[in-house]
Amino acid sequence: MREVAIVGIGMTKFGELWDMSFREMGIQAGLMAMQDAKISAEEIDALYVGNMSAGRYIEQEHVAALMADYSGLARDHIPAIRIEAAGASGGLALRQAYLAIASGMHDAVVVGGAEKMTDVGDAISNKIQSSASDQQWESVFGATSPSLHAMIARRHMHEYGTTREQLAEVAVKNHRHGALNPFAQFQKEIDIKTVLRAGMVAEPLGMFDCAPNSDGAAALVLCSMERARKYTDSPVRILASAQASDTLALHSRADICTFEATRYAARRAYRQAGRAPQEIDVAEVHDATAFCEIYQVEMLGFCERGRGGPFVESGATSLGGRVPVNTSGGLVSKGHPVGATGLSMVAELAEQLRGEAGDRQVAGARVALAENGGGVVGFDEAACAVTILEGPGARV
Amino acid sequence: MREVAIVGIGMTKFGELWDMSFREMGIQAGLMAMQDAKISAEEIDALYVGNMSAGRYIEQEHVAALMADYSGLARDHIPAIRIEAAGASGGLALRQAYLAIASGMHDAVVVGGAEKMTDVGDAISNKIQSSASDQQWESVFGATSPSLHAMIARRHMHEYGTTREQLAEVAVKNHRHGALNPFAQFQKEIDIKTVLRAGMVAEPLGMFDCAPNSDGAAALVLCSMERARKYTDSPVRILASAQASDTLALHSRADICTFEATRYAARRAYRQAGRAPQEIDVAEVHDATAFCEIYQVEMLGFCERGRGGPFVESGATSLGGRVPVNTSGGLVSKGHPVGATGLSMVAELAEQLRGEAGDRQVAGARVALAENGGGVVGFDEAACAVTILEGPGARV
């Protein structure tokens, strides 16, 4: 397989974008990525689009063809492919785009993700999000994303002594990071009292522990490594693009605090990249709720099983810590337009590796990891994509 | 890129399958394909699923994870990816599965497609199908799939002298073929008077000219050519897997009788396969309405532009003709469970190339072509996948 590089990144602000349609957001992110790469439309061989549920949010399926059309890319009749895997739609779209280049089929590809969630009310959005879990055995009985997720958090607290305050620390830290990100939905620091006093969504998860409904889009330009120097002096190498699955229904799992999709995807990614967890300088993980970050740092091998709570509490995942996590603000602060999320993670990391992350910059970041999950139990992990990136200065 | 072979095929009957759920259909087709290949679950590296709109039909997104889970494939935590491109979802899923093997990333992959359409009423289904066209400029104003399609048919009749009777001949021929297919939704011959006298859906398209709403699933097992002999003495080689796009909205096109997505996808496929239209022995094309077959045989180069009407009228596309088209019965007779359609075409052709098509067998078939479209204008062609296959006896 050929080596693949990221040569362009783009994203809209995340938030309640009432003056932008779904297609406008997607096109804006895509064109920003192409301008960043200084690549022309004629050089793009294919378009991949991650999107969870435009069919239900805006009554529009077939969104890859739509994006190709309205961005002008359909003029050359390039292939346009939509990938859906709930919250992991963006990460899976990236992996298919990666394979299209690694295989030798295509040389340069745009991969974007978008979701328009605020055209419907919150109750309807909650119902749409529930369609990521098992309709026949979970959502039909009224189980929602946060409620399933809260069950796991409670079990983790029981099993490992994780505290409510540790969950809240993640929310505080990610809002602190998000305050430094001009693209984040919430750019405001909050203190732990605010998190703990906020209204409950599903005990123990309060309002500031949960990702909001968001509109937004993110995009990348990928090309073969051999072509990358044509477009940029600072290509970001994709060392690994791995994926794994798990049961959709929570009740099918032997242990609800073990996320096998993340563990398997991470193991495959580390092996493909030839890297160990200790070599990761900066990471973005799928904190659909603040609690997710606690178990994801365990599953990714950044700390031992059950030690996620103390690990995040120690500051290890803060800017300046051992492995800064969610420097973008993560889903809880940056926002979570579902189909865009996985690509916005990789866009953040590519900025970090290019040394362009401004106030959020992790000094000397060379190797980065993105973990993007989709599915059951709130939001995570019947599908998981793990991407490992290497910065332009890493191998001289 | 590595060569890729089809080593297993499976499908459910198409029809109103009120006693089977979405997941049951998908699992049945997938297991049939694996049994046909005599491959074990442990040997499967990934699952690809084509589906248009389970989110709206049955309130279930994330259907690749669902299928992996309930078929037992999630036990090994393999990647599971859903592809959506309206009617072309199956064909595009096949192409991504093909790339996963051609790239060297995976060795054996199951690719399936499914749709459960009859759990909702026909009016709702029509609305869901309209979400494959441009929501903002077409479907929101009440344009439906058959009405947009009828416009093109009228234009083709005006431009090229195509007759209502020629359209009807396609319906008669495909129902004749479908009567020989035990998996078809309608297994009954009809005569031209019946077609012409039937109630109008959108003039000139009557009830027998249009594909029905259907439930059903189809699946294939793909592996690298070098592995294929382990599973079967009759591997079907994928000579080409190509795709192209076009504008989503009909009003953006220079000529509504020209389907650039098909033309480009076909051109790319013929080039990749090193074959010419004259070398195709048998084909399946996307006859969402009978009229589609008339323009698709033109776009694929089986006859000259504008001559599709006389070509089908001559019997050239019937069993026993120069290039039999839709020996399965096509969408109008076999049925059209949207996400399954593209894969059911390839399953039919693989049967033909293995010489196992029974009463529908095309004698000496060696090279076959499937054209699967999705999107605007009724059903076709903002996205198009063209696959060219070669039978096991073709190269000795």
Confidence of residue B386 (pLDDT cuts 50, 70, 90): very high
Is A92 in contact with B81 (Cβ distance < 8 A)? yes
pLDDT of residue B31: 97
- Euclidean distance between CA atoms A40 and B121, whole angstroms: 46
pLDDT of residue A378: 41
- Chain A residues in contact with B85 (beta carbon < 8 A): 62, 64-65, 80-82
Confidence of residue B396 (pLDDT cuts 50, 70, 90): very low
Between B386 and A135, name the one with better pLDDT. B386
Say if residues B27 and B259 touch (Cβ distance below 8 Å).
no
Is A83 in contact with B86 (Cβ distance < 8 A)? no
User: Within 10 A of A55 (CB to CB), how many other CB atoms are there?
Assistant: 27
pLDDT of residue B378: 41
Q: For residue A61, give the nearest of B79, B84, B260 by CB distance.
A: B84
| DSSP β-ladder status, A215-224 and B4-11 | unpaired
Q: For residue B1, give the nearest of A82, A92, A104 by CB distance.
A: A104
Longest dimension (CA), chain B: 58
Mutate to test the interface with A, among B62, B127, B137 (most CBs of A within 10 A): B62
Residues B279-328: pLDDT tens digits? 999 999 999 999 999 999 999 999 999 999 999 999 999 999 999 999 99
Longest dimension (CA), chain A: 58
Chain A's closest residue to B91, CA to CA, is A81
pTM of the model: 0.96
Stretches in chain A below the pLDDT threshold 50:
377-379, 395-396
Angle between helices A260-273 and A290-299 (to 10 degrees): 50
Is B245 in contact with A65 (Cβ distance < 8 A)? yes
- Euclidean distance between CA atoms B126 and B9, whole angstroms: 30
CB pairs under 8 A between A and B: 219
Say if residues B242 and B385 touch (Cβ distance below 8 Å).
yes
- Euclidean distance between CA atoms A236 and A225, whole angstroms: 9
Query: Quick check: B380 pLDDT over 70?
Result: no
| pLDDT, average across residues B119-138 | 89
C-alpha torsion sign, points B253, B257, B261, B265: negative
- Domains recognised in chain B with CATH numbers: 4-121+214-231 (3.40.47.10), 122-212+238-390 (3.40.47.10)
pLDDT of residue B376: 60
pLDDT of residue A376: 60
| pLDDT, average across residues B165-180 | 98
Query: Quick check: B141 pLDDT over 90?
Result: no
Residue A76 DSSP symbol: G
pLDDT of residue A51: 98
User: Within 10 A of B16 (CB to CB), how many other CB atoms are there?
Assistant: 14
Chain B's closest residue to A86, CA to CA, is B62
Chain A's closest residue to B264, CA to CA, is A77
Is B83 in contact with A83 (Cβ distance < 8 A)? yes
Is B55 in contact with A56 (Cβ distance < 8 A)? yes
- Euclidean distance between CA atoms A306 and B341, whole angstroms: 47
pLDDT of residue A396: 40
B221 bridge partner residues: B8, B110
pLDDT of residue A250: 83
- Chain B residues in contact with A77 (beta carbon < 8 A): 244-246, 260-261, 264-265
Is B85 in contact with A81 (Cβ distance < 8 A)? yes
